[in-house]
Amino acid sequence: GAVVSQHPSRVICKSGTSVKIECRSLDFQATTMFWYRQFPKQSLMLMATSNEGSKATYEQGVEKDKFLINHASLTLSTLTVTSAHPEDSSFYICSAEVLGTEAFFGQGTRLTVV
C-alpha cells in the first residue's frame, strides 16, 4: 500500500509554545488529507479536512486559530498546535487519500505538553 510519513513521532513541549507536525504522502499525490486526534482508549476524532491549495475545513468544536493547517502541495500537509497547553496532549494522526480509495495513515505523533 501507499506510504504516509508523519513527523515527529513523539514531541514534548513546554506550555505556551507551538508545535508543528508534518504529514507527507511519499509515493502518491493525495487529493485530501485528514487530521485526527485520539485520546487514550478512545476512537479517532476528525479535527479537519485539508485540500491542497485551499483552506482546511474544521470540525465543530475544533479551534482553527489554535490548530493551524497548511496544505501546500499534493504531498504535504502540516498541523501546527499553537500556544499548546497540557490538555492538548494527545495522539495526533494524519491520513491521506486519493478520492474514492482507502485512507492511508501516518505513524502518528504523540504530543506531550508539560
Provide the binding-site residues for another protein, judged by CB under 8 A. 1, 6, 32, 34, 42-46, 49, 51, 57, 91, 93, 95, 102-108, 110
Rank residues 93 and 113 by Cβ distance to another protein and give the closer one: 93
- Shortest approach of another protein to residue 60 CB, angstroms? 9
Residue 26 cell numbers, joined: 511519499
- Cβ-proximal residues to 27 (8 Å cutoff; 6+ apart), any chain: 2, 3
In degrees, to the nearest 5, what angle opens at C-alpha 88 toward C-alphas 104 and 94?
10
Minimum separation from the CB atom of position 113 to another protein (A): 18
Q: What is the distance between the alpha carbons of residues 58 and 4, in angstroms, rounded to a whole number? A: 21
Nearer Cβ to another protein, position 84 or 93? Answer: 93
Compute the least distance from the CB of residue 105 to another protein, in Å: 4
Select 40 or 86, whichever has its Cβ closest to another protein. Answer: 40
Helix (H, G, I), strand (E, B) or coil at 11: strand
Least distance CB 79 / another protein (angstroms): 14
**Which three cell numbers mark 86?**
497540557
Closer Cβ to another protein, 28 or 91, answer by number: 91
| d(C-alpha 74, C-alpha 17), whole Å | 28
